[in-house]
Amino acid sequence: MLYLFYEWLKDGEAARYLNFLRYPTFRIVASFGSSLVIGMMIGPKLIERLRIAQYGISNVREDTPESHQKKKGTPTLGGSLILLGIFIGTLLFADLRSRVVLVALLMTAGYGFTGFLDDWLKLSKKNSKGLAGRYKIVLQTGFFLVSVFGLLIDWSGGVPHLLIDTKLTVPFIPTRYANPDLGWVYVFFAWIVVVGTSNAVNMTDGLDGLAIAPTIVAALVFAVLCYVAGTSVEIADSAMVNGTKQLVGVPVYQYLGIAKVDGGAELAVFCAAIVGAGISFLWFNAYPASVFMGDVGSLALGGALGTVAMLSKNELVSAIVHGVFLAEILSVMIQVTSFKTTGKRVFKMAPLHHHYEKSGMSETKIVVRFWIISLLLGGVALASLKLR
């Protein structure tokens, strides 16, 4: 909103006092700062209200190790604090005319609603089952289709066509060498990425601070990827000019050999808001947690990260960035498949973090090690830029 206010005033004398708003770098930092401050200020009061409202209700899942029963009394729905920070930071400092920003906000809100419905059913019925998995998938798919068909397809001219690049960017390989085009099949592929990421983050949210820290790392990595793919800033590079090798200015995305993303800098503002909101939530969610994220947070954050991966053309890179989430959801899939086909379990308990708990590893050690892995994977993803 502040950016649109500047745009409205930019031809007037007063605009010169708000000239800093036209720089994406400032708005990225401001989005991060505002979401962080909002979360830190509102967090204590919100948590206290949630604690009072949920008094006497156990928010511990039934399918968890017995040691988790000591966490009874910890309120859930803390993800609402994250969503508040994300929306305030983005609405204040992003260009709300950007199609990609609108898609990201719509998907986050829709998946947040799905998670809230699940949490509300758990609280109102006083059990940990909540919304059936098939209904979650239906709602997630519905919001995905509304976003794609409502905002990412041009219906004019009689023949609809996608307004998003259907080509895939392959990690570590320049787009000029590997840039497969999926055409309309891309919609199905993108659905797998978004819905899969959402549910993977949801499954990871089983220990204090476990899901939010890899989310912060992923959002930070995507902020960098989105900015370099969407900025018009040029960098010096050598090129042949009139038969001689000279230094010329080329856009950063061209220098790095990645796809250009219209609105990429605005997506970076959105990602910065996730980072700020995530850090403020981690302050309260670190062991021992004062509040749980709940599905309202985990499904929304996973949907947001999957959507950013789609819009920034980092669908395959997201498999690296989201390595922790990917390992968690794969462990569940492997466990279920093995038990149904052979009657045997591969892991002592799934998702993966429960396997390590059952093996005797302390909760804090599991969480910190997963954080370290997430940081390393984020570094690998960023390294893929230069190696292209």
How many domains, in total, are found in the chain?
Answer: 1
Q: Given 3-state DSSP classes, what are the helix, strand and coil percentages for the chain, each rounded to the nearest 5? A: 65, 5, 30
Full residue range of the structural domain in which residue 373 is found: 22-320+362-387
* DSSP conformation letters of 144-155: HHHHHHHHSEE-
Can you tell me the mean pLDDT for 323-330? Answer: 97
Query: What are the pLDDT digits (tens) for 90-128?
Result: 999 999 999 999 999 999 999 999 999 999 998 888 766
Residue with more model confidence, 226 or 249: 226
- Is residue 92 within 8 Å of residue 86, measured between CB atoms? no
For 63, 74, 349, 366, the CA distances from 362, given in Å and listed in that order, are 18, 19, 15, 6
Residue 382, exposed/middle/buried by CB under 10 A (0-12, 13-18, 19+)?
middle
Query: How wide is the angle at C-alpha 115 spanned by C-alphas 152 and 278, nearest 5°?
Result: 85
- Least confident range from 252-261, 298-307, 308-317: namely 252-261
- Is residue 328 within 8 Å of residue 201, measured between CB atoms? no
First to last CA, the chain: 36
Asked whether residue 331 is domain-assigned, the answer is no
Asked whether residue 375 is domain-assigned, the answer is yes
Helix, strand or coil, per DSSP, at residue 320: helix
The helix (run of H) or strand (run of E) holding residue 246 is strand 244-251
**What was the pLDDT predicted at 236?**
56
Determine phi and psi for 180, rounding to 5 degrees.
-60, 140
For 84, 213, 258, 354, 355, the CA distances from 367, given in Å and listed in that order, are 25, 9, 33, 11, 13
Cβ neighbours for 376, distance < 8 A, ≥ 6 positions apart: none
Q: Would you say the pTM of this structure is higher than 0.85?
A: yes
Asked whether residue 328 is domain-assigned, the answer is no
Query: What are the pLDDT digits (tens) for 12-57?
Result: 666 666 677 788 899 999 999 999 999 999 999 999 999 998 887 7
| DSSP at 181 | B
Asked whether residue 326 is domain-assigned, the answer is no
d(CA 215, CA 266): 19
Asked whether residue 116 is domain-assigned, the answer is yes
Torsion, CA 51, CA 54, CA 60, CA 66, rounded to 10: 80
Query: What are the pLDDT digits (tens) for 263-276?
Result: 999 999 999 999 99
Asked whether residue 14 is domain-assigned, the answer is no
Asked whether residue 238 is domain-assigned, the answer is yes
User: At 344, is the pLDDT very low, low, confident or very high (cuts 50, 70, 90)?
Assistant: very high
d(CA 263, CA 251): 15
Torsion, CA 58, CA 62, CA 64, CA 67, rounded to 10: 50
Asked whether residue 43 is domain-assigned, the answer is yes
d(CA 288, CA 52): 19
